[in-house]
Structure formats: structure tokens, C-alpha cells
Structure 1
Amino acid sequence: MSENTTTVTDNDTNAQVAAVGTLEHLDPHTLELETNVRDDAALDADFVASIKEHGVLNPIAAVRGHDGVVRVRAGQRRTLAAREAGLTSVPVYVRPAGATDDKAQVVERVSEQIVENDRRRELTEAQRARGIQQMLDAGASVTKVAKKLSIGRDTVKSVATAAGSQAAMEALDAGQLSLSEAAVLSEFDDDPDAIMRLLEVAGTNRFEHRVAEIRQDRAAQQAYQEAAASYTEQGYTVVEDFPAYGDTTCVELRYLRTPEGEAATDEHVTDPAHWAVCLTEVEGYVDTETGEPVDAHDIDWHARFSATVAEGKHDPSSVTEVVVWEADWLCTDYAAAGLVLCDSLAKRVEALAREDSDHHADDSSDQDAEAREAAAAEAARRERRKVIALNKLGEAAQQVRRQFITDKILARKTAPKGAAMFVASCLTRDVRLIEEHHGGQISAELLGASDSTAVTKMVAELPATGDGRAQVITLALVLGALEARTGKDAWRGSGWGHYVGAAELLRFLADNGYPLADIERVILGEQTADALYDSLTEQSEPAEDD
């Protein structure tokens, strides 16, 4: 039964044929689907949910054949979704069949189906975001908007976040990034350099890694500024790098002596007017419970591989690694500070002042030794900077990697393809794997549990049909143990003595869709640590003016 509500005239492009159509409300189950050039309707749950929530908003286009049957010409997805959603009435714009012979009908049907699909223009991400924001501004809750649009709550929240960022909305307008990426971009509104770095990888699988790396950089920079402030507040000058050897306007404390020839010490750093400080980031440890500093030599690192801790030593699991800013003093006026240069530096300065070639020749061996010492010191500083920089990348990658394991691997009802072979290979090659490194706690965290006891309960509560999920939990135990062996410094090859470790973990994850970070490629031998560090230093150097 139909209800004719509107009569319209449909002209062809040459204005020669006029066909009267009617807008009718019909049961989608009574409609017959014509052959369609879209050979895969590809219905998805979100589309069906949208049809169930709103009904069919755009009328389905159909023709009524000479036999009286209404056949869908454009709108097969809407028809199928309406059936699946349980609708009993949908709007249908029905026209009489135009062509009379079979071949003409095919030409008419196919041309209309192609044109109907080709002439659509999807909303841009920016337009969609502004529309969602209008709904939120009108008082709709996140939950209501998500239901109305059949999208996730997280997507709505992303829009609410991105809409407040001019940079994010401009990037959306330009089609440079997705809604979820735009929400992240808004976090860095006050940092044009960070925004540029993120836009470089928007739309790629490098985006999450870049976000984690930038967050690490910002945290380190904030820590540096706080450390520097503690010295500037006392009147000291903070410099970013060490002076060149022989620069008497800024001399390292180790090259200074008292008038009596004794080595200068921190006790001689008294007047801030004569001193500067260079802060170097180093790794230190504190007791996790008390916060008290712990010397690295007082930690029983062997306890990572056994259940016992040496007497008088700290268990590695009881300490937390922290950043410590080590101060190196530089004297900007050693004479005013009551100090003198060490003999080797004094001779070098005197020789340069006199421009005495003979003296240069006589002292060439001393100067060569000094040059070697200075070069060695700089090489040591570079190596220390490299370790710090690459460890930060390792820590950033760890955050992204563990989130991937939780969301993409362990949230499944069944283990991914190849998981059983992977678990069997790891456990048969290294039978003590899940007993070491306190990996049980990491496994629990990856599963969203508080501790190993909670994981045990998780298994005990599985139904008799829970074999699939049980395999996922078993995989979690292996992944957690391997994660425990994949510290932020795993790029240094610190897995000596292990049969399985970081490399096996990364290869398994990569095979399951995980995008490797550059630092993880170093672990796999696809890139060298020095090459990666050199690329980082090149990126951080300011561009030269043309």
C-alpha cells in the first residue's frame, strides 16, 4: 500500500522527456533491487545504526515496471540497511519505467546509477567537525551526539577538543589530518615547531610515535628550565654548551688552580658574578617509596635474572629511574675569582699571545696531548648526549608500543594468527622467560589488570568455552616478559645472554600491524644508532640564512 504525498516532474538533460514521479512510503521488504553497478553494498554497523536512529532521510529512487513491481535504481544500501534495521516504511521516489526494450533499460539504469554516485561530494573533516560542534553548542551531550551520528564518543570528544584550536581547524580545512589527529594537534597550539613536525607525518603510521617523541622533548625541556631556574635565581649564568678549549673568557673548573697550585673545587664557586653553569642530563635512581637517591652501584642488577637480592643492595624493581641535571662550573673571570689557569692551559694561552712559532714547536707534543684530551672529552660528551637522546626515543616508543599491544593484540577474543607458534617458539627457546625481569606486572598492566593475582582470577573466571581468550592471556604473559626485556636502552644491545628478547617482540608486533619507530629499527639492525642520532642533531640545528 502506498501513500502519494508529492507529485513532481523529472526532466531529462535535453528537456525532451517528462516523467511524472510520486513520493511514496513503502515497506523496504516489498522493494526489488535492480542489478547495480555497485556490486558490493558493503553495509557496516554504523550505517545500519544511523538508519535505525534517523530512518531514511533521502528518498530511495525507484522505477515501477510495466508489471507493477517497484525496483530500486539508486539506494540499494539504504534499502538493505532499512530492512536490517527493522523499518517498515521508507520514502521512495517512484517513476514509471522510461525505456521500453531491454538494452535501452540497461543503458538508462547504469547511467543513472553511475551519475547518482559520481556527483556526490562528501563533507570535509572540518565541515563535519564544525557541525558536531554546533550540536554540542546547542546543548547536546557527547553521548547524544554520538548516538545521533552513529559515531564513537571518542570521535565527538576529539571534535570538541580540535574545535578550540585554530591550527587544528586550519589543518582540517586543508585536508592535512584526521579528526583524531586534529584533537592531538590542539595539545601543541603554543608550539609552532611541534605542529610542523606533526603535520609532516599526519596521515601516516608515524603520527603516534611523533606525538610521543614530542611529549618526551617537552617534558625534558620543562625539566631543564626548572633546573636552570634554580641557578639563575641565585644569579648564575646558564650556558647551553661547553666552551672551546683555550677560551679564557669561560674556563671549565677542572682547568683552574688556586695560587698555591691546588685543583679548584666546587668550594671555590662563591660569587655568581664570576661563574656560569652548564647543565648536562644524566640518568639517576631514587627509591620508589621514599624518593631518596640511590647510587647505581648499590643496585643488584643481577636480581633481574633471579629471585634473590644481594645483602645490602637494592632490588631493581624497588627503584625508579629519574633525570638528574649534573652541573659543570665554568668561570667567566678566573682572576676575579682568585684562581689561575692550570699549567698546560696557561702555556697554550701564552704561546698564542706571543705568536711564538719556536715555542709552538717546542710545546707541540703538549698541545697535541691537550688537543687529544679535549677531543676525547667532547667525544665522551657526544656519546652521553646520544645515549640520553636515544633513550628518550626508546621511552617514547615504549609508550606507543604498549598501547598498541593493549588495544590491538590483547583486546581480542582470540589470539592473532601466528600467536601460538610465537608463544611456543619463545618458551621452548627460553624456558625461564616468564619468570624473569618481573614481567608479570607488565603483563597485568597490558591486560588492564592491577597485578598478577588479578590475571590469575581473570583466567579462573573464563567460561568453559574460553579457550580463545585463554590463549590471548597466555600471549600477554610472553609479551609482558619480552617488554620487561625491552627497556628504553634496548637499542644498545643490552639483551646479552637472552635467547629471546626485544628483536623477537618487535618482529611479532610488526607482523601484526605495528608501525616500528626509528629507534626500534636500530634494535633490529635496520639502522645504526649513530646515524639516527646524527639525523636528530641535524633536525635540531637552526637553518642557515641564504
Structure 2
Amino acid sequence: MTTIEIPTEVNLDLTTTLLAEAQPDRQVAVEISTTTETSGLESGDFPHERSTDDVELLEVAPDQLFIGANTRRNVVLDKDFVRSIARHGVREPIRAYRDDTGKLVVHDGQRRTLAAIRTQRERVRVIVEPRPSLDEKAQERRRIVDQVVVNRHRADICGADQVQAAQQLLDLGLDARAIARECSIPVKEVETTIQVATSDTARKALNDGTLDLTQAAVVAEFQGDEAAEATLTECARTQPEQFSHQAQRLRDRREERRLRQETTDKLQADGVTVIARPDTLYGGKTRKLTDLRATPQTKPGTKLTAKRHAKCPGHAAFLDYRSHRPEADRVEIVYVCTSFTEHGHAEIHAGQGKVTATYSAGTGRATGPMTEEEKANRRRVIQNGKDWDSAEKVRKTFLKNFAGRKSAPKDATTWIAQTIAEGSHDLRKAMESDHALAVELLGLDKKAGRSRYDRRLAHPIADAATKATPSRATVLNLVMLLAALEEGTDRRNTWEKPSPAQRSYFTQLKNWGYALSPVEELVLTPSQSTTTTPVELGIADDGDETAAEEHGDDEVPDGNDDEDDAVEGAAIKPTAGEEPGTAESVADLQADLAA
């Protein structure tokens, strides 16, 4: 055991002066005084006062220390804390006193002691203070007060300080991994602070308290996009519960612009003119190639391919976007002829030798431009569909976190019973599909050899239930029901015509802490018919959201992207008097080739 001498005097005035000179912009929160005056009070009036002559600073093997009574009921030694002790040792001395037998009893530093033992540190520094000469009850009272004061009034480092420290370490030559290693902080957390440090807007908003560190990192994602930065900062200030939704919408719109631009660049490099989507594709000059045939003499029903049409002066394309599809399939190229009659083409189902077809009443075929009301409704459907896709990502993140709970909300058992009793179609489908989404939300691994058709192996959730506490088992039940109802949601029907089960689902999510986005609120108030994206949050119409650039099948209620094409390509019969045509003649073929 080594004894280290402690200085009995510290020049606090000099220390304060040096700090002020080194950090002139930093305010001193507490005024430090070295005076020993006590306004007439005697030293005995301070029960915690002790002389430094009686204090020892020792280096002791941690397993020689004894843990005394502590106000902490549960000792948590998290991985980062243990890694820090293993790498740097115990930087803050442990406080202890000697009992009647001479043992060193820890009364401040329980976690440090246990972590030092776990990491096999040879020595730790211990400040040994004299045991107060008080009766047993007074000693216990003092112990509790000391431990509460030490832990409660210890201020954690704030987000702005973390960012500043990360920037300083970067300037001193450390990268993210080195900072994480030296400070025993997860790499992702360090990368977050570095990301904030590189964004002036995020850093300033963090410093003035408008954003927390997590929000500042999101704002930093949009560095260089002043409109997005302003929108997010305002959202954090006025509607913080909507911040995640607003951020996801902005991410998705940015992704849409990127994918559209990439496709546009490729088309233009190939010599294809890219146009905005026409107001109508049925009654105007511009038609989709899938609605045309090469010439009036071509056999009715023969589609005009993009390759065959490439040399036509009217050859062009517009882009559709499907936000709910996989990235590779989101942008769809729709080829058109901008003046099909002028360039000698005919409608695909027009009679032999005719340019246009006359359709029977009741076919539902649109023949003119949309009215302003139809355009507004179409924009609403498209915008709400995109907002729903964005909200779904936020909602599933919430569900994954919710699935990690140890116990369910108090009213969960009642809702579980009600939902099972109602036996909705979505619940039956989830059981038939072997609760695939629930397995994903719970973070369980699928079993090789088990499928919806072969259930000889136990289900992963059933295995988890055998090891779960009753409270956790209730959570498993709850997650299976939530996942079943989530799988049954639809990007249009759910907000426009929600079922009772869907209303119940979104009501419970809201009650259990999930902030519904504006489009999700429509599930609870479906009579509203306005576009849900909040205008006050600065979401601008950048031209990609208008009806003029969207595909008609976004209007299909069940979200079936192919239904519109199926209707357009169907064999709609011409009215009486039109002949469907027969086999093409040699002259027809020559005319087709010429076209």
C-alpha cells in the first residue's frame, strides 16, 4: 500500500484566473472564494467539515476494498464504462473510511470499484477520510445525504460540449475510431457528434438549445440545403413531436429528386427528350406508346415499342415515381409520342385504317383534360400516399423500439383481448403468414426449415415465450397483434377508408407514445380531405409533387400500380361499325417499317 502526500493548500484564485484567461468566452457559473470567514458561525456548526491533515490518498488493490451500504439499488456496469476503466483506469479517486477493524469501506465509488475488479486493475486511488464520530443513526443519515448529493448534482456533459470536444480532437489528429477508442464511446455516437461539428447551422442550433444532439445530427444530414435546415429547425422549435416525420419526408423527397435526376441524365445522354407528364394521356396530342400502334394500317392491338419509335420526331418520355417500391424500381420511364396524329400513328384499338377509336359509353375511358377539382384531388392522393410511405418508416422504427419493452402498457391486456375477440382479417392473414413482421420487429432469427406451410419446428416467438417472464410474454402477444395490423395498412385505403381495427390500432399507438403524422391522423378523422403535408413547416412544391408529373395509377384505391396499365391495355371493344381489322398486308408492313 503506497501513501501519496496531498497538498494542503490550493491557490483557488490563481486557478480561476488561469481558467478565465484560457477560456475568455466561457462564463464562470460559480464564484469560488478562499476566505475562511463563516459569518460568525463556529466550525462545529458544519457537520461535514474535516481537516485535510486527517485525509490520506492511497493506492490500493481494488479487491481489498469493501463495498458499504449504498443508495443505488441496482448497480449497472455498462460496456462503455467498463471499457473506459480498462483503458484509462479509475481517474476519479474512490472515497472510503476505515471501520473499527481497519478495513477500507467504500462510501463513494461503488461502480468504479466493481469495474476495476472486473477489469483486473492492480491499483486504484482511494481517498481515505476519517470516520465521523457520530452515533449510528447520524452516520447512516450522513452516508445517504453524501451519496445523493454526489450523484444527483454531478452534471453530465451536454451535447454542445461533446461536439466541441470531438472537433478539438479531430483538429489534434484523431479520427472517429480513435476518438471512440480513447473515450470509450460507441463509434456511431462519435460519428454523430463529428457530423454536427461540420454543420454551422446544426452546431449553432445545438449551442442555443433549439436542438438536442440527435436532432442536430439530422439537421447536419441536410448541410447545404438551407430550406431543409430551416424547416427542421423550425419544426424542432414549434412541433418537436413531429421532427422524425418531417425529417423522413425530407429524406424521401431528396431521394426522389436524386433518382429522377439520375434517370433524366441517362435518358438525355441517349438523346431522349424528357417532358413533364401531360394533364391527360387520353384526349390530347400526347399519348403513351402503349396506347398506340405504328400506323392506321398496322393490325389493331399491336403495341408500338420504344425501340421502334426512337427515330420519330415526337419521341419523348416522362417519369413516374413509386415511393413504396424498392429503390431500383421507383422511377418508371413512360415513353410517349408528343403528337401521334401528326407523326402518322394510330390509337392501338382504333379500327383498321382509322387513327382514333370511338369508345362505348360506360368504359370509364377519359377523353379530355381533368377539371381543377380532379387535379386537386389527384394531387391530394399522390401527396398523401408519399407522406404515408414516409410515416411508415418512422412508425416501424417506433414498433421495433416498442418490441424491446420488458413489460406492456397497463391497458395492453384489455386491448389484446378485444383485438383477438374481433378476429380481424389482418390478424388471420398474419397467422397464415407465420407472423413474419412480428419476428422482424422482435429481432428474432427465422428458423431454417420452418415456413408457413411446414410448422413442425417451433416458432421463434414460441421459443422466446418459453424463456420470457409473464410481463415479457404479454409484450410478445402485443407485438404479434400490432405487427398483424401494421401489415394490413395501405398507402391510400387506410387513411381514406380505415377499418374499425385500423382505427383501434392507430388510437393505441397514439396512446402508447407514438406521435401520429398528419396523414396518420386522418385514420382517426377520415372525413378530412385536404393534403396533409404541413405547409407551415415549409415543405415546398418543387415540381415533382404535381399531378402533371405523376402516373394515373396513383389514383387506384388499392395501390395496385399495374391496374391502370391493365385498363389502358385491355381489349376495349370499338363501337358498332368499326372493324377490328385482319392480318396485315405487305403494304402495311412496308408502311410500318417506314414509320
Place the TM-score, normalised by the shorter chain, in its bin. Answer: 0.5 to 0.7
Residue matched to 1:82: 113
Distance of aligned partners of 1:93 and 1:42 in 2 relative to their CA distance in 1, 3 Å threshold: same
1:194 and 2:228 correspond: yes
**Other structure's SS at 2:9 match:** strand
1:130 and 2:167 correspond: yes
User: Which of 358, 365, 377 is matched with 1:383 structurally?
Assistant: 377
**Other structure's SS at 1:401 match:** helix
Residue matched to 2:3: 3
Residue matched to 2:451: 453
Residue matched to 1:221: 257
- Displacement after TM superposition at 1:220 (Å): 2.1
1: CA distance, partners of 2:219 / 2:295: 48
Residue matched to 2:20: none
- Displacement after TM superposition at 1:126 (Å): 1.0
**Other structure's SS at 2:254 match:** helix
Is the contact between residue 497 and residue 526 of structure 2 (CA under 8 Å) also seen in structure 1? Answer: no
Distance of aligned partners of 1:515 and 1:192 in 2 relative to their CA distance in 1, 3 Å threshold: same
User: Within 5 A, what are the aligned runs for 1:427-446?
Assistant: 427-430=420-423, 432-436=425-429, 440-446=435-441
Is the contact between residue 318 and residue 333 of structure 2 (CA under 8 Å) also seen in structure 1? Answer: yes
More strand by share: 1
User: Within 5 A, what are the aligned runs for 1:86-97?
Assistant: 86=117, 90-93=124-127
- Could you tell me the TM-score, scaled by structure 2's length? 0.55
2: CA distance, partners of 1:459 / 1:130: 45
Q: Which amino acid aligns with 1:475?
A: L
**Other structure's SS at 1:56 match:** coil
- Displacement after TM superposition at 1:425 (Å): 1.1
1: CA distance, partners of 2:251 / 2:393: 11
Deviation string, structure 1 residues 437-489 (Cα, Å, up to 9, x no partner)? 77644334334445873995314544744464554443333222201221222
2: CA distance, partners of 1:139 / 1:217: 32
- Displacement after TM superposition at 1:530 (Å): 0.6
Deviation string, structure 1 residues 292-320 (Cα, Å, up to 9, x no partner)? xxxxxxxxxxxxxxxxxxxxxxxxxxxx9
Is the contact between residue 260 and residue 319 of structure 2 (CA under 8 Å) also seen in structure 1? Answer: no
User: Which of 82, 88, 92 is matched with 1:49 structurally?
Assistant: 82
1: CA distance, partners of 2:166 / 2:9: 36
Is the contact between residue 93 and residue 124 of structure 2 (CA under 8 Å) also seen in structure 1? Answer: yes
Distance of aligned partners of 1:526 and 1:178 in 2 relative to their CA distance in 1, 3 Å threshold: farther
1: CA distance, partners of 2:200 / 2:396: 31
Query: Larger relative contact order (C-alpha < 8 A, sep ≥ 6)?
Result: 2
Residue matched to 1:145: 180
1: CA distance, partners of 2:294 / 2:533: 33
Higher deviation after alignment, 191-200 or 84-93:
84-93
2: CA distance, partners of 1:537 / 1:115: 44
Distance of aligned partners of 1:70 and 1:29 in 2 relative to their CA distance in 1, 3 Å threshold: closer
Is the contact between residue 133 and residue 159 of structure 1 (CA under 8 Å) also seen in structure 2? Answer: no
Deviation string, structure 1 residues 46-105 (Cα, Å, up to 9, x no partner)? 48636743443133578999x999999xxx6535642576489643456779999xx9xx
Sequence identity (%): 21
**Other structure's SS at 1:13 match:** coil
Residue matched to 1:480: 483
Is the contact between residue 43 and residue 77 of structure 1 (CA under 8 Å) also seen in structure 2? Answer: no
Is the contact between residue 430 and residue 499 of structure 1 (CA under 8 Å) also seen in structure 2? Answer: no
1: CA distance, partners of 2:156 / 2:52: 27
Distance of aligned partners of 1:223 and 1:266 in 2 relative to their CA distance in 1, 3 Å threshold: farther
2: CA distance, partners of 1:459 / 1:119: 42
**Other structure's SS at 1:24 match:** strand
Deviation string, structure 1 residues 270-298 (Cα, Å, up to 9, x no partner)? 99999898957576999x9xx9xxxxxxx
Distance of aligned partners of 1:130 and 1:533 in 2 relative to their CA distance in 1, 3 Å threshold: closer
Is the contact between residue 285 and residue 338 of structure 2 (CA under 8 Å) also seen in structure 1? Answer: no
Deviation string, structure 1 residues 166-216 (Cα, Å, up to 9, x no partner)? 655555555554444444444333423223333334493433222221121
Distance of aligned partners of 1:199 and 1:99 in 2 relative to their CA distance in 1, 3 Å threshold: farther
- Displacement after TM superposition at 1:390 (Å): 1.0
Is the contact between residue 235 and residue 273 of structure 1 (CA under 8 Å) also seen in structure 2? Answer: no
Residue matched to 1:344: none
Q: Which runs of 5+ in 2 are unaligned?
A: 12-32, 38-42, 44-50, 287-291, 297-308, 345-367, 543-595
- Could you tell me the TM-score, scaled by structure 1's length? 0.59
Residue matched to 1:294: none
User: Which of 242, 246, 249 is matched with 1:210 structurally?
Assistant: 246
Distance of aligned partners of 1:405 and 1:534 in 2 relative to their CA distance in 1, 3 Å threshold: closer
1: CA distance, partners of 2:324 / 2:392: 19
Is the contact between residue 281 and residue 324 of structure 1 (CA under 8 Å) also seen in structure 2? Answer: yes
Distance of aligned partners of 1:528 and 1:90 in 2 relative to their CA distance in 1, 3 Å threshold: farther
**Other structure's SS at 2:416 match:** helix
Deviation string, structure 1 residues 9-54 (Cα, Å, up to 9, x no partner)? 25872156995454334679568789xxxx8799653486367434
- Displacement after TM superposition at 1:380 (Å): 1.4
Residue matched to 2:387: 393
Residue matched to 2:551: none
Residue matched to 2:579: none
Q: Which amino acid aligns with 1:78?
A: G
- Displacement after TM superposition at 1:226 (Å): 4.4
Distance of aligned partners of 1:425 and 1:77 in 2 relative to their CA distance in 1, 3 Å threshold: farther
- Displacement after TM superposition at 1:513 (Å): 2.4
Is the contact between residue 5 and residue 56 of structure 2 (CA under 8 Å) also seen in structure 1? Answer: yes
- Displacement after TM superposition at 1:428 (Å): 0.6
2: CA distance, partners of 1:2 / 1:60: 15
Is the contact between residue 390 and residue 533 of structure 1 (CA under 8 Å) also seen in structure 2? Answer: yes
**Other structure's SS at 2:489 match:** coil
Q: Which amino acid aligns with 1:457?
A: H
2: CA distance, partners of 1:84 / 1:97: 25
Is the contact between residue 423 and residue 478 of structure 1 (CA under 8 Å) also seen in structure 2? Answer: yes
2: CA distance, partners of 1:119 / 1:444: 41
User: Within 5 A, what are the aligned runs for 1:27-176?
Assistant: 29=65, 44-46=76-78, 49=82, 52-53=85-86, 54-59=88-93, 77-79=108-110, 81-82=112-113, 86=117, 90-93=124-127, 122=157, 124-130=161-167, 138=174, 141=177, 145=180, 149-159=183-193, 162=196, 168-169=202-203, 171-176=205-210
Q: Which amino acid aligns with 2:509?
A: L
